[in-house]
Chains A and B, each alone.
Chain A
Amino acid sequence: MRRKLSLLLTITALLGIFAGCSNLDVVAKGSVTSFDAILTAMGDKVTADEMNGGWALEAPDNGVKFIWSEDYSKSPLHDVMLEFDAAPFIDAGLDTDMLPDSFAYYDNKLMVGVKLGNDALKYSGDVTPLKSYEQIVSKYRKSIGYHTSLDHYNVAIGDGNLFEWAKDMSVNAYDNSAQDKDIVFVLDPAPFIAAGVDPNTVDGWAFAKVTVDIDGKPTEVDKFLKPFNLK
């Protein structure tokens, strides 16, 4: 009995040591590394966004931006958001007045996002796009996700809207079975369809079924996708 107990204790201790020595939140840790790689790859497409008090990562076709705040106490509307051209949606039948309140329409652009909090974020040293992203990871970890089937990280922008990027731009899918895009802007099509959009005719956005993880469950849903390869 004593032997069994000591074996059990040893295994538990080993687990403890393993857990202690490792950063258990490997997704959060990996997302920072890969986001940094994306920022580097995007080069001048990553800019300061003064209007929203943060940083903007603009798609290579300039049709959509992922914006994240550097200080939530100062964000005017959202802390993480997508800003994209309204024209393709209007051309596909969108009545902007029918969009829910989470959407803003201005200057022929649409914006959708989420307010994460009102914290005055503190930084050591210069404020950089990566450091602002790290604030999301450390303070609002729930916003960071991992898309298993595509081996993508993502930031949840609320209501099923996402910004995704590849964990490893050279090998995207975790089992090497598929090569996917390096960044993907993802919109939930439901409010657009409700506002009159014919989802199959939105120029520049693919309307597709994708498998996402909802509460840990792989679930197939419809999405508008704008994917890009950076390398």
Chain B
Amino acid sequence: MQTQILPVGGMTCAACAARVRKAISKLDGTDNVVVNFATEKASFSYNPDILRLSAVKEAVAKAGYKILDAASADEDKARREKAVRVLWTKFIISAVFALPLLYIAMAPMIKFVRLPFPWGLNPMTFPLLYALVEIALVVPCVAVGYKFYTVGFRALFMRSPNMDSLIAVGTTAAVLYSLWNTFQIAAGSFGAVESLYFETAGVIITLILLGKSLEARAKGRTSEAIKKLMGLQPKTATIVDPDGAEREIAIDDVEINDVILVKPGAKIPVDGVVIEGGSAVDESMLTGESIPVDKKEGDKVYAATINANGALKFRAEEIGADTALARIVKLVEDAQSSKAPIAALADKVSGVFVPIVIVIAIIVGLAWFIGTRDLEHSLTIFVSILVIACPCALGLATPTAIMVGTGKGAENGILIKSGEALETACKVETMVFDKTGTITEGKPKVTDVIGGGDLVNLAASVEKLSEHPLGLAIVAAATDIAEATDFESITGMGVQAKVNGKLVKVGRAVYANADQSIGDRLADEGKTPLFISIDDIYAGVIAVADTVKPSSAAAIEKLRGLGVSVAMITGDNAKTAAAIAKQVGVDTVLAEVLPQDKANEVKKLQADGKRVAMVGDGINDAPALAQADIGVAIGSGTDVAMESADIVLMRSDLNDVPTALKLSKSTIRNIKQNLFWAFGYNVVGIPIAAGALYLFGGPLLNPIFAAAAMSLSSVSVLTNALRLKTFRA
């Protein structure tokens, strides 16, 4: 199966998205079809052996929609901006005609205020002229809103009515009834002037266009984060030919192993490894980390990051879709196209919403007519029900919040891979941290030196010839390493060599003729003591430990504040594990766990009925990450972690873990608010439009107010989703 994401044109509401999903799902060889109204994209898996993409395009076209050509970020942006411009222009044209139309229709009806009104248009004195002026004003509104009719009636005839169908049927009923009354006026029944509803149609179209314009704008803003990411990559690169000549080429022409020069202040065009020079590089656009990272020969550099102060030459290793940036963009795009389980109800409802509303409108309209014999009253109710019903808000409630939430995450270096992950993350009860590389730095360091003289340099001179990780820590701490000879490694004891003619031993207490008790305190603190003797005389102890990251304790405290219990899993012995646990404040320690057993430990926690998240570096923790309800990979967006985890933290800062959880909680809370509003509008609005208040002596809802409420529902849902942009970690 191959996964495909295609942009879909012509969708105007959630019912359209449901229709497209149905059309694609019907085809043999498709699976996991998700159509996102907010992103206007269809995502699906298909078997290329039994289905061609052209068949998918045909099926979508047959359903009344169009698969658009895949566009670049710029083209997509331009297309969206044009759509917003067109909608605004239409709205302005419609408003220019609808406002005077509303005025001449309503001014004579306002009882307590005498608004200026041209005598020549007095409906009681010149009813036919009045009606014709209203027609002249409503025609441009209908003309600019023609798409509601072409799309709406086509969908209706194809038995898949959408929101446009509701607008089309509602306003057409108002216009036709008013035209009939205009002919009545012309025929001498001047009283029919009181039964003109042209302004209803004109104002409804205007308000819906306003709502659509605001919606399009807000929808554009929900995907700003991804657009920002996509726009980061420079368009050109300066490559250095083997003869040393420099030339600027388009980014698409860069090939793997090209040597690329990046001058100070310039953006790094593709991913690669530094081969010459050194500089600080601002990687904040990828990791959210504001402090520039020093780069030297052998270090990895990433596309779109900014070279700060020195010239760098690097060899291109990943280009095009393989760069970290492209993979992040893809990951966020996929997440934004995905659906959260919480959206399932809204999706189901919006799929059948419009036909049900039409049936309700017909039944209620007829019931009122039978009960009152008042055609106008019944028509008002019929139009109000059609117009107030809003499947858009239902369709936008979840995806817009996910788009803003995941976008906000990406801005902060938190990549949430799907809507499902987002939803599950907010329900996490237990967070299991891998110790090495996650809670700790993952690189042992010299923490204590007991003993005088040049102990560290002496030990380093011996350890330089060793490959032991603890030895490397001592080498890293040394300032002056002498040449050592006669190196020998004694398994289980330590290493020794001659330095400046003296025999230097580094290892266990017994090996260095030391008293073991000297190292006990250090061991209690989770440190590894390395005893040193010079010419078999005990000289001192160097303690080496994998230090806790500065952010670990604070992050774990934050998680506990969020009501999450924290566990640490490690292969270390219980003593060391307990010491680290004490430093950072975890609730549960799972020590001496082999890498292959980490997944089982997660499974045990899950068996207790807990929702478990696993935080690890994503390589040896991959099975545990997969087993957990949520796998959180930390430290890089460039390795296997991106594949195995549900959430990828680009920085090594553990504070991003509670931030991810908080973002997830905020997003899900936002989705729930949106769904509440979206359902609430319809659950409250439709009965009011149906005359529920009027039945008990209350007011009857004017269709114009129904249209305003409907437009407001979509806009308020989008505005609420955009509030997530203000999320602070």
Contact = CB atoms under 8 A, between A and B. Distances in A.
Given A25-B126, A26-B127, A216 B117 contact: yes
Interface of B is mostly: helix
Contacts of B126: 24-25, 27
Contacts of A145: 124-125
Nearest to A144: B125
Contact of B143 (A7, A146, A173): A7
Contacts of A146: 124-125, 127, 190
B563 to A, nearest CB: 59
A174 B189 contact: yes
B33 interface: no
Given A25-B126, A148-B191, A216-B117, A4 B143 contact: yes
Contacts of A215: 108, 114, 117, 122
Contact of B188 (A12, A30, A173, A217): A30
Interface string B1-27: 000000000000000000000000000
Nearest to B109: A217
Interface string A32-62: 0000000000000000000000000000000
Interface stretch (B129-137, B409-417, B466-474, B499-507): B129-137
A11 B126 CA distance: 22
Interface in B123-155: 123-129, 132, 135-136, 139-140, 143, 146
Contact of A27 (B109, B114, B125, B135): B125
A229 interface: no
Contacts of B128: 22, 24-26
B111 interface: yes
Contacts of A25: 126, 128-129
Interface string A1-33: 000100110011001001100101111001000
Chain B contact-residue range equals 20 to 34
A1 to B, nearest CB: 11
Contacts of A147: 124
Contact of B132 (A18, A148, A216, A219): A18
Given A145-B124, A216-B123, A24 B140 contact: no
Interface in A140-191: 141-142, 144-149, 151, 167, 173-175
B110 interface: yes
Given A11-B139, A217-B111, A26 B190 contact: yes
A198 interface: no
Given A26-B185, A148-B194, A219 B108 contact: no
A116 B119 CA distance: 17
Chain A contact-residue range equals 20 to 34
Given A12-B139, A217-B111, A148 B129 contact: no
A4 B192 CA distance: 31
B331 interface: no
Contacts, number: 85
Contacts of A7: 143
B186 interface: yes
Nearest to A145: B125
A216 B117 CA distance: 8
A95 interface: no
B191 A151 contact: yes
A217 B115 CA distance: 10
Contacts of B190: 26-27, 30, 146, 148, 151, 167, 174
Contacts of A175: 191
B146 A27 contact: no
A85 interface: no
A154 to B, nearest CB: 10
Nearest to B130: A216
Given A22-B128, A26-B128, A217-B109, A174 B191 contact: yes
Contacts of B108: 215-217
A154 B502 CA distance: 129
Contacts of A222: none
Interface in A195-221: 213, 215-217, 219
Nearest to B195: A175
Contacts of B648: none
Interface of B: 107-111, 114, 117, 119, 121-129, 132, 135-136, 139-140, 143, 146, 185-186, 188-194
21 contacts: A4-B143, A4-B146, A15-B132, A15-B139, A18-B132, A19-B132, A22-B128, A24-B129, A26-B128, A26-B186, A27-B126, A142-B125, A145-B124, A146-B125, A148-B124, A174-B189, A174-B190, A174-B192, A216-B117, A217-B109, A217-B110
